[in-house]
């Protein structure tokens, strides 16, 4: 049985998780940047690998910039 291939959202989350605070990933996109940025936000929010990573998704000069801001802090006893 072959292992399930990694989804594009999981691989993007793994790239974001490897960043240091303040570092960014720049994505070149085709189509409407606002629509693509919303798809990326939604995809990252659905991925369990990316839930604890604080990040911003912005549009700069027609490119999408994802910046890592740190980790969400959870109260003791949760997660």
What is the DSSP-derived secondary structure letter of residue 29?
-
In terms of C-beta density within 10 A (0-12 exposed, 13-18 middle, 19 or more buried), how is residue 65 classed?
A: middle
pTM of the model: 0.77
Share of the chain above pLDDT 70, in %: 87
Q: At residue 49, does pLDDT exceed 80?
A: no
The confidence score (pLDDT) of residue 76 equals: 58
Place of tokens 């990252």: 44
- Classified as helix, coil or strand, 58 is strand
Give the mean pLDDT of the chain.
Answer: 84
């Amino acid at each position: 049985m072959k292992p399930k291939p990694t989804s594009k959202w999981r691989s993007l989350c793994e790239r974001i998780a490897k960043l240091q605070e303040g570092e960014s990933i720049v994505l070149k996109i085709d189509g409407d940047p606002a629509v693509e940025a919303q798809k990326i936000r939604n995809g990252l929010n659905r991925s369990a690998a990316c839930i604890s990573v604080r990040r911003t998704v912005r549009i700069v000069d027609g490119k999408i910039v994802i910046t890592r801001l740190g980790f969400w802090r959870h109260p003791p006893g949760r997660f």
